[in-house]
Structure 1
């Protein structure tokens, strides 16, 4: 283990992040060092920031791509593990194209846009085709690789912002984006996005953290238990673009309406599993309202007892089970990022919505405000 890149802390956690968290005084929490995240990218300062819920959760964030670098939570025996994948220093994030989106914000458009193109009011806009013929997660220079402004930071909250100019990665409109990460005493991690534009455009933001509730590098996620509040998915073709249909999950490997082990059906004979090389699909969330934050997903790991609930105001969630991880990337604790040892759960609108008029709209016009709220709530049982 590269211990020189980590700060091993127990009681001294208070001095490092300025908190009064008595529940973690003696926990073996290893915060990444400021010096390993201090640099300049495109003449903008990059750093790392620690947040504390005040009741047992510690998180570190870098403003390069708004990335969640570490997230420490206790198990049922109050043993702490870092449950998100990440790297030891900023250089590894910058150079590692294999896991470009690790822990980052996705934008301007999370997920895929077919042929990297769409039309607004008869005008065609061409985007980078950075995933086959598709535009993926905003293009070649998306929100994940830019340096966000740190507008303010406190013990439990950080405010970030970014200005995306007209024509950025082919998208129209000058876009002003704000993003707030908050840890609450109820051990919630809240994300709030807002955005405005001066020209009609499409916006679909999300976070691409990879979770393993056993801890980073501690084995498969196929034994995690998953519940999804969704009766259907948007099926995809061989290029991972939605066909435009809605496919009922009943009697398919995609039925997680009641809790089921992730690995139970992931290797079954199924066209959709083949197209995604496993789970890499958008679930259509059951919604009671259009804008309220509602429960969407529960992820549970029985050995540790860690549980994560996801609440959101979004209409979909893309779930990806690390089907293409090869174990060549080494994480924060000198352990490889292996095949199906992490899961991403990305709350958002649907993929390719700009080209699918019957999907929930991602269009943002001048005078409107894009708003998204997602909550990750942590507990044990």
Structure 2
């Protein structure tokens, strides 16, 4: 039986109301000891504790111990919900219903990233339901916020079950035609959130996708889908992350930060990715109804070996470059500017329905 508990994580000024609000933390816990903690700040996944093959629990999700940590390191988006539109929008512009829409350009004054200056990651979500296996958070995004037309109501249901499945279901409806492409930026290291690059390189990863979206030097999609076969980006079978990163050390992003194109229909929830840490036995599977998954290997975190200022996380952990990974389920980046990509336009009365299940477990130790 799953237990749902609540505690107070801190206080913060709600950017939507300019009033001080409490940040609530909900922890979902199974009888086997696995737990997931979610904050109302940014609908953020703050902790995921998973046993290894010996039953030893470790927190495998990067994050911070207090509100100040999240504000101080907002640029990392650890565990946060991203929206209205995750990822990049070229030049912060697109055409909708024949009209030019201009969004805020919150990254290098060049393009729009992860919903703008005050995206879904920065707002304090309302709690609209507490259930036997989780809870539901809600945010109402006003018409014109960060440049997006139409008021949008978003509900996110977080749930956990005894088989190790952590589910997220995101539903949204708009009062006017707009664009919606929501994701989550949880970063993981299955050896433990604080174990860094050495253990990340031990991971094995598989993504069921034969193509990625090609991008330019600013990581803006060109509109082309590129086959991964016979390239370092081929993850169609379980592959060692360390060996792959060696092959990518001279690429512009210094690792993985690519949208993989999965063969998934909106009415299906399919296995699209798997990660395994052989030394602990922990594994994670991603099941979703989204056609894209952004695989990222924390390339933008500090490189302390080169003198970068440390990023200090939970319990004093140092989070560094290539010390974690993320699987961000989504439709393709900059889809509103690429007619051939899966459509992210939502009309009044239409339901945006994004489902993803993170299934955690541990493989028996090999003799």
TM-score, normalised to structure 1, is: 0.88
Q: Which stretch of structure 1 is more off in the superposition, 355-364 or 56-65?
A: 56-65
Query: By how many angstroms is 1:92 displaced?
Result: 1.5
Give 1:158 deviation, angstroms.
1.2
2:232 corresponds to which residue? 253
Decide whether the 8 Å contact of 2:276 with 2:283 is kept in 1: yes
CA RMSD in angstroms, aligned pairs only: 1.8
Question: Which of 205, 210, 214 is the matching residue for 1:226?
Answer: 205
Query: How do residues 195-344 of structure 1 correspond to structure 2 at under 5 angstroms?
Result: 195-220=172-197, 221-268=200-247, 274-287=251-264, 289-326=265-302, 328-344=310-326
Say which SS state the counterpart of residue 287 (structure 2) adopts: strand
Asked whether the 8 Å contact 1:203–1:362 carries over to 2, the reply is: yes
| TM-score, normalised via structure 2 length | 0.91
CA shift for structure 1 position 268: 2.4
Report the CA distance between 1:269 and its aligned residue: 5.9
Distance 1:135 1:316 in 2: 19
Measured in 1, the distance between the counterparts of 2:42 and 2:261 equals 27
Give the conservation status (yes or no) of the 8 Å contact 1:285–1:316: yes
* 2:37 alignment counterpart: 60
Map 1:1-381 → 2, pairs under 5 A: 34=7, 36-39=9-12, 41=14, 42-43=18-19, 44-99=21-76, 101-132=77-108, 133-154=110-131, 156-220=133-197, 221-268=200-247, 274-287=251-264, 289-326=265-302, 328-381=310-363
Runs of 5+ unmatched residues, structure 2: 305-309
Rate the CA distance shift 1:135–1:223 in 2: closer, same or farther, 3 A. Answer: same
CA distance in 1, matches of 2:257, 2:70: 23
Q: State the SS of the aligned residue for 2:315.
A: coil
Contact 2:10–2:22 (CA under 8 A) maintained in structure 1: no
Q: Equivalents in 1 of 2:330, 2:235: separation in Å?
A: 19
Deviations 1:243-290 (A, max 9, x none): 1111111000011111000121223268xx623221100000123x44
Is the CA contact (8 Å cut-off) linking 1:40 and 1:46 kept in structure 2? Answer: no
- Which structure features the higher share of strand residues? 2
Q: CA deviation at 1:106?
A: 0.4
After superposition, the C-alpha distances for 1:63-103 in whole angstroms (9 at most, x for unaligned) are: 0000111111100000000000011111211232342x111
SS in 1 for 2:251: helix
Q: Which runs of 5+ in 1 are unaligned?
A: 1-13, 20-32
Displaced runs of 4 or more, over 6 A: none
C-alpha offsets along residues 129-186 of structure 1, whole Å, 9 cap, x if unaligned? 1123121101111000000001122453011000001001000001011000000121
